[in-house]
Structure 1
Amino acid sequence: MEAIKKIHHISAIVGDPRENISFYEGVLKLRLVKQTVNFDDPETYHLYFGNDLAEPGTLITFFPWTTASRGRVGSGQVGRIAFRVPKGSLGYWNERLTSFNIEFQVTQLFLKPTIEFFDPHGLSLALVEGDDVGKDEKILGFHGATLLSSSPKQTVKTLMDDLGLIQLSETEETYHLETVGEEKHHLIVPKERLARGRFGVGTVHHIAWSVPDDTSHRQWQDYLYEEKYNVTEIKDRQYFNAIYFIEKGNIVFEMATDGPGFTINESLEHLGETLMLPPQFESLRPQLESHLPSLSERGKTNGID
């Protein structure tokens, strides 16, 4: 199989959707590129944020579970999600987070200056300075993530032998890997095995890997089946097709196609402005809109500048 080139998206569980939008749109200056619902639980929003073009490799998505209890971060989950920012912009982000009273620490988590902090619902985040100079200080996309495996060696084996990532280094504490595409997304697998995680607010549900088209997607499904992974049927997520499997360290992996993309039912200029329902739920629109909390006030309080 051709090696995986990049992360497609990362999906996490959070609380109030208005707080979620206020933080990611207002503080981190990401673009809300799609308001839709969880196709498996349509009374819950599924909110997508990304760059201005809504490109795979920049997409972080959220299931706001307003009535759910806080989860427990642990093995079998993605840990800290890292975004890449332009070269020379960490000073700007230091000042910006300070202006919003967001506590952070500067580390070398990804072997480069890294700002570590949490979102309002306890999700672990980081900003890592990249090598590219941007036109401004805005987030460029993902830098990578940590993978909290219940079997670190087996997770690294899956990443290298099956997905085609390369190992950059190994220390007493971690394995450090990288995708082979131009994005060079970084994955850190700690060797310490935490207690088993529990999904809930403040945890990551899955990480999705990018595949270019439906043909390669079906090939990946066949390959994973042959390698004895319990891979799902292909699921139509309207903006991409998806298959899921649990790798040997119990982390949920997804393979997602790059297309058809987020402009199939909204223009690029108006992405994220309206609740977009898949065809199977359109007849339920009045019921769903009456149940879902209104997001119309987000622009008045999110601090966008």
Structure 2
Amino acid sequence: MTMAIGRIHHITAIASAPDRNLAFYEGALGLRLIKQTVNFDDPGVHHLYYGDETGTPGTILTFFPYPGARAGRHGAGQAEEIAFAIPEGSLGFWQDRLAGLRLAVEGPAERFGERLIALKDHDGLMLELVEDEAAAALPGRAAEGIPAEHAIRGLRGIALWVEDAADTAQVLTEVLGYEPGPVEGNRSRFVHPGAGLGRIVDLRAVSGFWAGAMGAGVVHHVAFRAADDAAQAAATATLAARGIRVTPQQDRTYFRSTYFREPGGVLFEIATDAPGFAIDEPVAALGSRLMLPARYEPHRAAIEANLPRLRPVHDTA
């Protein structure tokens, strides 16, 4: 089932050292670096995109790496616990692999009847690997030490930590097309009826918990899919009718975006599926060199001189 709006397009987080970020996500987890560019609003900082072979919406995790960035604080008003989908039967492989890399892992545990393990990257970003019954039908990309049958398929979902879940739930159901699902403790699950990845958003009611603070190891925003500009505009109109301010559309080269802060405080984006990541380099070469939007191209030499060098993964293991 294809839906015009909803399901996760990508998640963006703050990181510290870009070389360590690359080593972890491409080297340890086996994701593909599909684009290296800059923060379009701050060209002195990399913007690194990881995903599947082509950067399919729903597989994309991105980072703004600020060398020496102070650690953020996990708390209310933030997106936490980024969940990756892996095929059923793959949890043992990942436990062994992560233990071999001397990475601390919690679990296995069970939530809503699904088995998972939890870990953090070097900045403290909360991650989960969840066995998903539908994952085996999605293509897996083999990487060094990771056979295709056990590879991460993409983003399963995200948890939002909010003081009061009711208003956030209305945005999920009335604007982004999610439907209420099961409840476990303080966690309410919302599931999108569309097929594919990024269908899960969990709301965790954390009333009385301290507020989160932005910094390394914290999610910056969660982007949801729009099939096209018309679907994005319709969602924007619905939000405006609810009294929620939405930015004008921003051209991010690989998609077009609008942004708003949902009632619980988490920054949301609505991003178009098109034009995709092969617009400025062929699929075989994705992520191999720094790509800049046209307005920054005249300043390439200065920008490249200012950015930290991205070391190859085998140099950072």
Q: TM-score range by the shorter chain?
A: over 0.9
Report what 2:233 is aligned to.
Answer: 218
Q: Structure 1 residue 302: deviation in Å? A: 4.7
Separation in structure 1 between the aligned mates of residue 120 and residue 313 of structure 2, nearest angstrom: 22
- Shift in alpha-carbon separation, 1:50–1:44, aligned structure 2, 3 A: same
Is 1:66 matched up with 2:81? no
SS of the aligned residue for 2:62 comes to strand
* Alpha-carbon shift at residue 153 of structure 1 (Å): 1.7
CA offset digits 1:135-181 (Å, max 9, x no partner):
52111011111101132121112212222211111243221111111
Report how far residue 112 of structure 1 moved: 0.8
> Is the CA contact (8 Å cut-off) linking 1:50 and 1:58 kept in structure 2?
yes
CA contact (8 A) 1:4 1:180 kept: no
Cα pair 2:83 2:130 within 8 Å, conserved: yes
Residue of 119, 130, 142 corresponding to 2:155: 142
Q: Where does residue 237 of structure 1 map in the other structure? A: 252
Q: What is the one-letter code of the residue matched to 2:120?
A: F
Q: Distance in 2 between matches of 1:109 and 1:116?
A: 12
Q: Secondary structure at the match of 1:101?
A: coil
Q: Secondary structure at the match of 2:279?
A: coil
Partner Cα separation in structure 2 for residue 39 and residue 110 of structure 1: 39
Unpaired stretches in structure 2, ≥5 consecutive residues: 141-147
TM-score by length of 2: 0.91
Verify the 8 A CA contact 1:7 1:210 in the aligned structure 2. yes
1:55 counterpart letter in structure 2? T
2:131 counterpart residue number? 129
- Give the secondary structure class of the aligned counterpart of 1:260: coil
Q: How many residues align?
A: 301
Question: 1:291 is aligned with what amino acid?
Answer: N
What is the rounded CA distance, in whole Å, between the counterparts of 1:255 and 1:109 in structure 2? 28
Q: Report the equivalent of 1:156.
A: 169
Structure 1 vs Structure 2: percent identity of aligned residues? 39
Matched, 1:178 2:191: yes
Which residue identity does 2:278 align to in structure 1?
T
CA deviations on 1:27-55 (whole Å, 9 max, x unpaired) are 00000000000001010000000011210
Name which of structure 1's ranges 136-145 and 107-116 shifts more when overlaid on structure 2.
107-116
Q: What is the alpha-carbon distance in structure 1 between the residues aligned to residue 27 and residue 168 of structure 2?
A: 35
Higher alpha-carbon deviation: 165-174 or 97-106: 165-174
Q: Which residue of 1 aligns with 2:143?
A: none
Q: Distance in 1 between matches of 2:202 and 2:131?
A: 16
Once superposed, which parts of structure 1, at least 4 consecutive aligned residues long, lie more than 3 Å away? 2-5
1:156-209 C-alpha deviation (Å, 9 max, x unpaired): 122122222111112432211111111262111112232111100010000000
Q: Distance in 2 between matches of 1:104 and 1:259?
A: 36
1:255 is matched with 270
**Any gaps of 5 or more consecutive residues in structure 1?**
none
Q: In structure 2, the residue corresponding to 1:117 is in which secondary structure?
A: strand
Tell me the SS of whatever aligns to 1:6: strand
Per-residue deviation, 1:280? 0.7
Q: How big is each residue's C-alpha offset from its partner over 1:81-136, in whole Å with a ceiling of 9 and x where there is no partner?
A: 00001121111111110110011112224531111000011100000011142552
Tell me what 2:211 maps to: 196
